[in-house]
C-alpha cells in the first residue's frame, strides 16, 4: 500500500456500486411484499395452499438473507467511498503544502526538500518536512486499514457469514447487514508522539471519528495528540460510567471487608476508591458549572480524566480551547494537591490569570488574541490526604520519584498543545509551583524536546538546571519567583540541583508595589501566595507578572 494506490482508487465506482445495491434492496423488498400478499391466498384452504404458504416462508428466509448481504455490501461501499475521498482530499492538501515549500511527497510517504539559498530557516523547513512525512505516512496506514476492512467484509459475504440476526422483516435484515458491513475505526496508535497521533486522527474520515467518539470514548480522552474538543467530549462522556464503576467497586470491597475484616488489601484499596469517587464528583461539579462548548468558548475543557493508573484521580482542565488559543499556559502544582481538595481554587486562580492576561493584551493593542490557561494534574505529587501513612508525603518531597514519574507525561502534554494547535506557532508558557516546578524542570529536559517558549518556577525546591539552555529555553525566557517568607527559600542547593535563587534564570521581584497598569498589588510572601489574589481582590504582583509573561510581554 502506498500513496499511488490512494490516487487510483475509483470512488465513482464505489458510488455506482452503492447505488446499484440500494436499488437491489428495493427490488428485494418489493418481491417480498408481493410474495407476502400472494401467500395469504384468501379463500384457498387445501393441501396445495398449505404448500404454497410453506414455500413463501422458505423464500422469505432467502430474501432476508439476501437483504442482509446487500445491506452489508452497500454500507461497505458507502463508507469506503467516504473514507477514500477523505484520504484523497488530505493527500491533495499535503501535496499543495509541500509544493509551496519546494518539497516533494513520494509514494512511500517520504518527503524530500529542495535546497534553498537561505539557511536561516533550515530548522523550520526540517520541522515542516517531518510533519508532512508523518501526515503522509498516516494516510498510507489508514488506506491499508480500509483495504483490510473491505477484505474482511467481502470474505464474510463470500463465506455466508453475514447474519440476519433473526430479523423478522426485510428492513430489519438489511439493518443487520449494515451493522456488519461498515468500516472499523483504527484505534489511536500507542507509543507514538502527539504529532503522529494528530496525523492519525486527521487521516480518519468524519464517520470513523464519530464512531470512535460515540462507541469508544475511553480510547480518546487521555491521548495526547487528539484534538482538545474531542478529548473533552470523550472524557465528559466517561464521567458517569466511571463513577458507577467506582461506586460498584466500593460496594464490592465493603462486602469483602465484612467477611475478611480490616487491615487487608481490600481495606487499602477501599480508601483509594472512595477518594477517587470524590475526585470524579468534584470533576462533575466543576465541569457542569461552566462546560466548554462551541457556544461557550471560554468554558472548561476536561482534557485528562484518569482514575485507573494511580492511587488518586488525575485530571487536566483548560479554560478555553487551547487548540485555537494564541497563548497557552500549563500550571503544574505541588505538595498536597488533589482534584477533590484543590481543583476548585486552582480553576479560580487559572481564571484570574487569564483575565489579567487578556487585559494586558488589550492594553497592548492585541485584544484579538486568545488565551487558554490549563491546570495540569496528570501525576501524583506527594499528598497528605492520600492513602499513604501520615508523614510519608513529607519524606517523598525530598525525593524525585514522583516528579520523575510525571515529567515524561508533562513533556508529552506540552507537545500535544503544539500538535493540535490551529496556530502556526502557539506561545506556550510553563508554570510550576513547589514540587510541581521540579516536575516541570525535568519535563523541560525530556530527551524528546518541547515547544515551550517560557517557563516560570515559583516556590521551587530546585529543578535540576542552572540556566535556560539546560531547560531547552532561550536565554532570558526562564523566570524564578521567591517570596520573602516562603520556607522553601531556606532549602539550598541539593539533590534537585542549585537553589532557584542561585540559578542564572531571571529573578523576578514579587514584593508589594503599584504595577505598570496602575494597580496597587500585594506581594507574594508565603509558599501558597504566588497565584492567588491579595486581600484587595487583585492578583498579587507574582500573578500579574505571570500574566505579563503569558501575554508575551516583558514582565516589568
Strand partners, 481: 458, 508
How much is the pLDDT for 179? 87
CA atoms of 262 and 141, how far apart (whole Å): 52
The rounded distance, in Å, linking the Cα atoms of 440 and 445 is 9
Q: If you search the block for the grid coordinates 477518594, which residue do you land on?
A: 275
Q: Which of 467, 462, 489 is nearest to 478 (CA)?
A: 467
* DSSP notation for 492-527: -SBTTBS-GGGSSSEEE--SSEE-TTS-EEPPP-ST
* pLDDT value of position 35: 46
Between CA 136 and CA 7 the distance in angstroms is 13
pTM: 0.88
pLDDT in tens, 245-272: 999 999 999 988 887 765 667 888 899 9
Residue with cell 464512531: 211
Which residues of the chain are under the pLDDT cut of 70?
14, 17-18, 21-61, 119-120, 261-264, 386-396, 492-493
Q: How far apart are the first and last CA of the chain?
A: 57
Alpha-carbon torsion 473, 381, 191, 200, what sign?
A: negative
Q: Provide the β-strand partners of residue 111.
A: 105
**What are the pLDDT digits (tens) for 471-491?**
999 999 999 999 999 988 777
**Crossing angle of the two packed helices 11-40 and 47-100, in degrees rounded to 10:** 160
Is 218 buried (19+), middle (13-18) or exposed (0-12) by CB count in 10 A? Answer: middle
Count of all residues that appear for the chain in the document: 556
Between helices 401-420 and 435-444, what is the axis angle to 10°? 60
Asked if 426 and 325 touch (Cβ cutoff 8 Å), the reply is yes
Q: Is 186 helix (H, G, I), strand (E, B) or coil?
A: coil
| DSSP3 helix / strand / coil % (the chain, rounded to 5) | 55, 10, 35
Nearest alpha carbon to residue 375 among 335, 340, 329, 413: 329
Q: Please report the pLDDT score of residue 211 as a whole number.
A: 92
Separation of alpha carbons 113 and 394, rounded Å:
54
Contacts 24+ apart (CB under 8 A), 51-55: none
Q: Which pLDDT does position 14 carry in this prediction?
A: 66
Cα separation, 499 vs 508, in Å, equals 15
Domains of the chain: 3-184 (no CATH), 322-551 (3.40.50.1820)
Residue with cell 493593542: 365
Residue recorded with cell 494597580:
519
Q: How crowded is residue 389: how many other Cβ atoms within 10 Å of its Cβ?
A: 8
Q: Taking Cα atoms as reference points, which of 517, 486, 518, 512 lies closest to residue 499?
A: 486
Backbone angles phi, psi at 543, to 5 degrees: -65, -40
Dihedral sign for Cα 127, 132, 135, 138, please: negative
Q: How far is it, in rounded angstroms, from Cα 365 to Cα 357?
A: 13
Of 341, 343, 301, nearest to 319 (Cα)? 301
| Per-residue pLDDT at 173 | 85
The x, y and z cell numbers of residue 90, run together, are 488530505
**Residue 185 DSSP symbol:** P
Cα–Cα distances in Å, from 356 out to 45, 57, 477, 533, 543? 88, 75, 20, 11, 9
Amino acid at each position: 500500500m502506498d500513496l499511488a494506490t490512494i490516487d487510483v482508487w475509483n470512488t465513482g465506482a464505489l458510488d455506482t456500486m452503492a447505488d446499484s445495491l440500494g436499488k437491489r434492496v428495493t427490488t428485494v423488498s418489493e418481491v417480498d411484499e408481493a410474495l407476502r400478499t400472494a401467500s395469504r391466498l384468501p379463500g384457498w384452504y387445501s393441501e396445495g395452499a398449505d404448500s404454497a404458504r410453506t414455500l413463501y416462508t422458505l423464500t422469505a428466509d432467502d430474501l432476508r438473507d439476501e437483504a442482509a448481504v446487500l445491506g452489508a455490501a452497500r454500507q461497505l461501499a458507502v463508507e469506503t467511498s467516504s473514507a477514500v475521498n477523505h484520504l484523497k482530499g488530505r493527500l491533495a492538501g499535503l501535496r499543495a503544502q509541500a509544493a509551496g515549500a519546494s518539497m516533494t511527497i513520494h509514494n512511500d510517504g517520504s518527503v524530500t526538500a529542495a535546497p534553498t539559498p537561505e539557511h536561516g530557516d533550515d530548522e523550520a523547513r526540517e520541522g515542516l518536512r517531518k510533519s508532512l512525512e508523518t501526515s503522509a505516512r498516516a494516510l498510507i496506514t489508514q488506506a491499508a486499514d480500509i483495504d483490510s476492512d473491505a477484505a474482511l467484509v467481502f470474505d464474510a459475504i463470500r463465506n455466508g457469514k453475514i447474519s440476519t440476526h433473526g430479523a423478522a422483516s426485510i428492513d430489519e435484515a438489511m439493518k443487520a447487514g449494515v451493522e456488519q458491513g461498515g468500516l472499523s475505526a483504527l484505534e489511536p496508535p500507542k507509543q507514538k508522539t502527539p504529532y503522529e497521533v494528530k496525523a492519525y486522527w486527521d487521516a480518519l474520515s468524519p464517520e470513523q471519528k464519530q464512531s470512535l467518539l460515540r462507541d469508544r470514548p475511553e480510547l480518546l480522552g487521555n491521548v495526547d495528540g487528539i484534538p482538545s474538543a474531542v478529548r473533552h467530549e470523550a472524557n465528559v462522556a466517561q464521567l458517569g460510567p466511571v463513577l458507577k464503576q467506582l461506586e460498584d467497586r466500593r460496594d464490592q470491597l465493603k462486602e469483602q471487608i465484612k467477611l475478611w475484616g480490616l487491615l487487608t488489601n481490600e481495606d487499602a484499596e477501599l480508601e483509594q476508591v472512595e477518594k477517587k469517587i470524590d475526585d470524579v464528583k468534584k470533576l462533575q461539579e466543576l465541569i457542569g458549572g461552566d462546560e466548554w462548548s462551541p457556544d461557550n468558548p471560554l468554558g472548561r475543557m476536561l482534557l485528562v480524566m484518569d482514575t485507573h493508573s494511580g492511587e488518586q484521580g488525575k485530571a487536566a482542565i483548560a479554560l478555553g480551547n487551547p487548540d485555537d488559543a494564541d497563548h497557552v499556559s500549563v500550571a503544574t502544582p505541588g505538595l498536597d494537591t488533589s482534584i477533590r481538595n484543590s481543583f476548585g481554587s486552582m480553576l479560580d486562580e487559572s481564571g484570574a490569570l487569564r483575565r489579567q492576561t487578556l487585559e494586558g493584551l488589550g492594553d497592548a493593542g492585541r485584544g484579538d488574541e486568545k488565551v487558554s490557561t490549563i491546570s495540569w494534574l496528570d501525576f501524583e505529587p506527594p499528598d497528605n490526604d492520600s492513602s499513604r501513612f501520615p508523614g510519608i508525603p513529607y519524606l517523598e518531597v525530598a525525593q524525585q520519584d514522583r516528579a520523575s514519574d510525571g515529567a515524561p507525561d508533562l513533556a508529552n502534554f506540552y507537545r500535544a498543545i503544539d500538535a493540535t494547535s490551529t496556530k502556526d506557532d502557539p506561545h506556550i508558557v510553563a508554570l510550576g509551583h513547589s514540587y510541581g516546578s521540579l516536575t516541570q524542570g525535568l519535563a523541560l529536559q525530556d530527551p524528546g524536546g518541547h515547544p515551550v517558549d517560557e517557563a516560570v518556577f515559583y516556590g521551587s525546591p530546585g529543578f535540576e538546571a542552572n540556566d535556560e539552555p539546560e531547560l531547552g529555553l532561550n536565554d532570558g525566557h526562564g523566570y524564578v519567583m521567591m517570596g520573602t517568607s516562603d520556607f522553601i527559600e531556606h532549602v539550598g542547593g541539593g539533590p534537585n540541583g542549585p537553589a532557584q535563587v542561585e540559578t542564572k534564570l531571571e529573578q523576578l521581584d514579587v514584593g508589594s508595589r503599584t504595577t505598570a497598569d496602575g494597580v496597587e498589588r500585594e506581594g507574594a510572601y508565603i509558599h501558597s501566595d504566588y497565584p492567588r489574589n491579595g486581600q484587595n481582590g487583585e492578583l498579587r504582583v507574582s500573578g500579574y507578572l505571570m500574566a505579563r509573561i503569558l501575554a508575551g510581554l516583558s514582565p516589568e
